[in-house]
Amino acid sequence: MRKLSERAFAIMAVCEETKRYFGITVDEDGWDQYRFMWAFKIDKDKGKKEGYDTKTVTGSVTLDDEYPGCPYCGEKRFYICQCGKIVCYHGQSRVTCPNCGQSGTLERVEKIDLKGGGY
Ligand SMILES: [Zn+2]
Ligand SMILES: [Zn+2]
């Protein structure tokens, strides 16, 4: 694992397939530029206690070469729900967020395809 900067933090994510929560270690490359470094299993309560659920990313995201993807389903693609959670994405056109229950169609699929973009 690459060395993290002092601006690194962790956020909560949720797997749409297994409905389980996990954490993502995020480093900041620059203003609104984030890099997903690592993913790890954590339960929702623990993540909350650690304050991980108070943060989210807004801006462009790149994946580090070593980023392993979701610890449950192995998926590296994701979308950011309006509730702020990162949710595994498996290419389907209609998604339901396991965290807030919101469902909808993703219109800007190309932007969640890990290439960054102004999500
Ligand atoms: Zn998953
Ligand atoms: Zn949500």
Report which bound ligand comes closest to the CA of 22.
1
Domain ranges of the chain: 9-112
CA 29 – ligand 2 centroid, Å = 25
CA 73 – ligand 1 centroid, Å = 4
pTM score, whole prediction: 0.86
Nearest to 23 by CA among 70, 62, 75: 70
Query: pLDDT, tens digit, for every residue of 14-66?
Result: 999 999 999 999 999 888 899 999 999 999 999 999 999 998 898 889 999 99
Q: What is the pLDDT of residue 1?
A: 61
CA 19 – ligand 1 centroid, Å = 8
At 104, is the pLDDT very low, low, confident or very high (cuts 50, 70, 90)?
confident
CA 24 – ligand 2 centroid, Å = 16
Report which bound ligand comes closest to the CA of 98.
2
pLDDT higher at 115 or 30: 30
Nearest to 36 by CA among 73, 71, 82, 81: 71
CA 3 – ligand 2 centroid, Å = 30
CA 16 – ligand 1 centroid, Å = 6
- The torsion defined by the Cα of 18, 92, 80 and 110, in degrees rounded to 10, comes to 150
User: Phi then psi for 52, rounded to 5 degrees?
Assistant: -65, -30
Query: pLDDT, tens digit, for every residue of 77-90?
Result: 999 988 889 999 99
